[in-house]
Amino acid sequence: MSDIISDDALSDSPTEIQSERNQLVVLPCEQDHRQGSLNAHVVLVEYGDYQCPQCGELYISIQAIQREFEATLSGENSLCFIFRHFPQSHIHPQAQKAAAQGQFRQMHEMLLKHQQELGMEI
């Protein structure tokens, strides 16, 4: 699941962002695992689970979006990608263990690139 927030979608309320389709209740902040500046023109927030097949598919799409933004708007503060771990622990019990380890960005990319290899032990 992901939400895209643009500059014009931000409201004065610290707890809500107005959107026709979705509401992002927790605003992006410094504590988020992110790539890019929180002041970017577009903020993409993904709630993901490392053992979720759809999250693995979305990872490929997000990488393509990031490359496209870099290629067309290089040097500009155009995109911030935030990943929020939202494990479905009743379905994927190993996902929480994976998120608890250090060096988040490297771990994030490694787990999603090799998602099909995740088993009972990580």
Q: How many domains does the chain have?
A: 1
DSSP result, 49-91 = -TT-HHHHHHHHHHHHHHHHHHHHSTTS--EEEEEEE---TTT
**What is this structure's pTM?**
0.62
**pLDDT, tens digit, for every residue of 60-74?**
999 999 899 888 886
Query: Per the domain annotation, does 46 fall within a domain?
Result: yes
CATH number of the CATH domain containing 40: 3.40.30
Domain interval for residue 15? 2-117
The fraction of the chain above a pLDDT of 90, given in percent, is: 16
In one letter, which amino acid is 82?
I
Query: Per the domain annotation, does 122 fall within a domain?
Result: no
Higher pLDDT, 33 or 99: 33
- The token pair at 77 is 């503060």
Which residue has 């610290």 as its token pair?
Answer: 14
* Average pLDDT of span 80-85: 90
